[in-house]
Amino acid sequence: MSVSESVQDEIKNVSVVTILHGEKEFIPLILHNFQNFNDQENLELIVVDDGSENLMKYFMDTERCMYLHLKNEEKESFMKQIFEGYKQPNKTVLQYEQKRKALPNGFKRDYGCGMSSHDTIFHMNADCIYNPKSIERKLNFMKRTSAECVFCDSTLCYDIYNKELYKTVSPFKIYESTLCHTREFWKRRGFQWSDVTNEGKYFHHDNGIDRKLDNYYDTIQILSIHNMNEYQPVKVELENMKIKIPEMVNEITIDTHPFYTYISELFDEDVTILGINSDFLDNVDTESHWKTHNLTEKWKQTKLAKMVKNIGSEFNVLLYGSKHPAWDLFNHVPFDVIFLETPKNREQMIEIISKCKSHEYISVKGIFLRKEFLEK
């Protein structure tokens, strides 16, 4: 049988795989997208969740749906296997996931594919809006091109606060939220279990017949406080194209700021937090075990490190909200975790932190973590 005939044979039924880390605020959108796809009777939904709470009750009434909640002992066992199979000397990104009691995205996607039953697999991200024809169009493209794997390197974005559309392009030339492939393509290599993010890059590269699809408008990435640091949205002109945003999307509320989640996952005890012109610390209630200080007075580059040291010598977290870059701070004061609150001078700050000579920082999902902290 030729590849073309094989592909046409395989795409009659599709498994839709979604991965979660307990983000139940997006469950209504997951169910809306799944139930809104064309050819509903040919689809099944596989949800893999490594969050702390079992969310089975939200999926019980959905037909052709399998919800898989990974318990702590399962996560520990799987993470042990991942560490044992990881041959690179730098394990800091995996140590970050381990501290969060989370599993890498690569593992969860692979697990979902393994639990699916159909010969074609589509990856539907929890925080995206999908055109009802998204899967159908990808299947037709696979037929036309004899491809075993298709994806997009750009998508639309929708900011739920100002209700505007943007476009974003992946620096890794693939968005997992657009990925569709045959089971045979997956079986050859699968996802790399140790890939915390950007797992699609390794998965599709040099693994068979893959093709990039240019219909970026079929997938709309939601932007909110949960992921603003992960994307570089730009204004987009949509000529002669109507994009419909479901009303339910405007009703999505992120009840818990992601910062609370990150801190509770990374630190078990008291936390010392420094803000530099931080809007966040000015506008939210802090936890009782947080020791906070927000430096809001004017400062000069040559005096900033001294001003910070006058406040304290050790800090767990820095919330940096200044529009001015801090050129010399990080060589004098260590932070376990650094959050950049504002896009202003963001590229400069990323370069400054990355080139810090006194402390090595790694970037994971838009957050900077000190390597020594992760290795404790």
| Mean pLDDT of the 41-69 span | 96
Domain ranges of the chain: 3-251, 258-374
The per-residue pLDDT for 314 is 86
CA distance linking residue 304 with residue 332, whole number of Å? 10
Angle between helices 134-145 and 3-10 (to 10 degrees): 160
Query: Does 10 score more than 50 pLDDT?
Result: no
- Residue 8 — pLDDT band, cuts 50, 70, 90? very low
| Mean pLDDT of the 66-91 span | 93
Identify the weakest region by mean pLDDT among 120-129, 200-209, 231-240.
Answer: 231-240
The per-residue pLDDT for 228 is 67
> Domain 3-251 classified CATH 3.40.50.620?
no
- Global pTM value: 0.85
pLDDT tens for each residue of 205-239: 999 999 999 989 999 999 987 776 677 888 888 87
pLDDT tens for each residue of 25-37: 999 999 999 999 9
The per-residue pLDDT for 1 is 44
Q: For residue 254, which of 284, 278, 276, 282 has the smallest C-alpha distance?
A: 284
- Yes or no: say if 259 and 341 are a contact pair by the CB < 8 Å rule: no
CA distances from 15 to 53, 91, 115 (A): 24, 32, 10
The number of residues in the chain equals: 376
**Which carries the bigger pLDDT value, residue 292 or residue 285?**
292
- Helices and strands: H and E segment counts in the chain: 13, 18
pLDDT tens for each residue of 347-360: 899 999 999 999 99
- Residue 53 — pLDDT band, cuts 50, 70, 90? very high
Residues in CB range of 348: below 8 A, 6 or more apart: 325
Query: Does 11 score more than 80 pLDDT?
Result: no
CA distance linking residue 104 with residue 91, whole number of Å? 12
- Token pair recorded at residue 253: 């509320």
Ranked by mean pLDDT, the top range of 135-139, 263-267, 284-288 is 135-139
CA distance linking residue 117 with residue 238, whole number of Å? 38
**Which carries the bigger pLDDT value, residue 257 or residue 332?**
332
- Residue 136 — pLDDT band, cuts 50, 70, 90? very high
- Residue 197 — pLDDT band, cuts 50, 70, 90? very high
DSSP annotation of 58 = G
Query: Does 55 score more than 90 pLDDT?
Result: yes
| Mean pLDDT of the 165-183 span | 96
Beta strand residue intervals within 9-105, DSSP E: 14-20, 43-49, 65-69
- Residue 3 — pLDDT band, cuts 50, 70, 90? very low
CA distance linking residue 188 with residue 169, whole number of Å? 28
SS3 225: coil
Task: Using alpha carbons only, give the angle 43, 44, 48 rounded to the nearest 5 degrees.
Answer: 145
Checking DSSP bridges between strand 361-364 and strand 219-223, what pairing results, if any?
unpaired
Beta strand residue intervals within 42-188, DSSP E: 43-49, 65-69, 120-123, 128-130, 149-151, 154-159, 164-169, 180-182
